[in-house]
Structure 1
């Protein structure tokens, strides 16, 4: 392995290991505070008790909750992100579309997630449809904003150079506008994925019998703080896993970028 490549690999592993220090120190301090009586266990159960709660669900029981929530998030995110990419590109590339659509979308974006719940229940009942639609709503707006701003913020000089070469409209979009907008597009996709997990919790308040949102509700109603914390930990882990996957895809598709990487060099 060449010297620069090896140095880059070592740097990535060092950054990965550094990212574990804060969670590990937090867990140690949390466990110690409970064991030494600084915090009451029924208010904030120790990490060891949360781990025991997760173990008590069993492989099949825990998998059922994880699969239910993950399936809803993936379905809702796919629908919301696809719509966000399409409408975001339309608004970003057309001033007329921006004038017609953007004010309405900005108004709808301000509506809290729980405000949609009673309306979706009236329209779609209590099955899976309202849950997936609510998650799609949460994913749509960050993706839409990222795509629209990505196209609108392309450097004018790049467009002028492309026009000097008489590129057709389609070629201009494919070869200039889209590559320049991709960083903002991926930022929107990652933010949309994060909000999809958040909206999933609200979605699973709609007559769910499985899922992490259901566990949060069940823990609250039964006074089980350990179940609530277990669900929160699982949400954090799943959110991190999916965001890391999106990050990996972003690095692969945008490997051509020559940008500052916070390590004193270029990346």
Structure 2
């Protein structure tokens, strides 16, 4: 007499959540264009912003409604004043970005040529990073005086980028292939030849990564110096301080949004340049 064989009980798998790609709804969600999610996110932020402005901050008016801030974007006189002040700030930020990165690249190159200087350069970079810009800004304003109105803005912009660029350049130099360096040595090349032929090219992706962070940092450093009282009349920092003095909260938010947009644009532009200079980092074939 044969013994009956027990068959295993088939259990239904648990239902997948709505956002799971295995469900029809999940597939539809994952197949949506990226701009849809971005639009929904912006709409939620605006909704929360509007609710907070009319409930929690209605009496203090510390947070204006999105409509009052949006009205500034359609005010022609506001844009004229903004451009008059913004172009001076952009000039100071550009000079600070240039000098700060040139100094960073020079010191990093010295470390490659003279390795004994590494600790000194590293400590110098750390000191510039640890110095509070809010504390050193007023000192620079007093030292520069009214005769050199752009010196504090350029100096703070340069200090804002020095540490990031030094670290990024040093890391890039160390990313050079040891085999390529051995080939240069085998053909009688010295440290200067290795720097030009191998290490500089190997460092480009890391250098541009540092520059992408340094670009908005230089712009915000220049604004900080102007806000702390650097000389001159037409400056974005002075415009921010004037709006704060009269309690024009919507204009303050308008200027803050514009400043954030300019900083983001600087980050994007440096990244765009990096894609053309170092196409191999984006998976493209470089010549």
1:194 to 2:216 alignment? yes
Gaps of 5+ in 1: 1-13, 261-267
SS in 2 for 1:40: coil
After TM superposition, the score normalised by the length of structure 2 is 0.74
- The count of corresponding residues between Structure 1 and Structure 2 is 247
Q: What is aligned with 1:213?
A: 237
- Partners of 2:275 and 2:281 within 8 A in 1: no
How far did 1:113 drift? 0.7
SS at match of 1:28: helix
Question: 1:3-14 alignment to 2 at 5 Å?
Answer: none
Partners of 1:162 and 1:172 within 8 A in 2:
yes
TM-score (norm 1): 0.79
Aligned pair partner of 1:53 in 72, 90, 94 = 72
Question: SS where residue 201 of structure 1 aligns?
Answer: helix
Question: Could you give the per-residue CA deviations for residues 28-61 of structure 1, whole angstroms, max 9, x where no partner exists?
Answer: 3246426865653822112221121243334421
Is residue 2:115 matched to residue 1:82? no
Q: 1:251 aligns with which of 271, 275, 287?
A: 275
- Is 1:172 paired with 2:194? yes
Higher helix share: 1
Shift of 1:167: 4.3
Give the 5 Å matches for 1:83-102: 83-102=103-122
Distance 1:85 1:20, change over 3 A: farther
Equivalence for 1:6: none
The gaps in structure 2 that reach 5 residues or longer are: 1-31
The two structures, once aligned, show a CA RMSD in angstroms of 2.9
1:9 aligns with none
Match of 1:44 in 2: 63
2:251 counterpart of 1:233: no
Q: Cα deviation per residue 1:88-142 (whole Å; 9 max; x = unaligned)? A: 2222443122133332332232101112223312331141222212212212221
Equivalent residue of 1:209, what SS?
coil
Q: Which residue of 1 aligns with 2:4?
A: none
Cα deviation for residue 71 of structure 1 reads 1.6
Aligned match of 1:109 in 129, 148, 161? 129
Cα deviations by residue, 1:199-232 (Å, 9 ceiling, x for unpaired): 1221112245333322332232222221221111
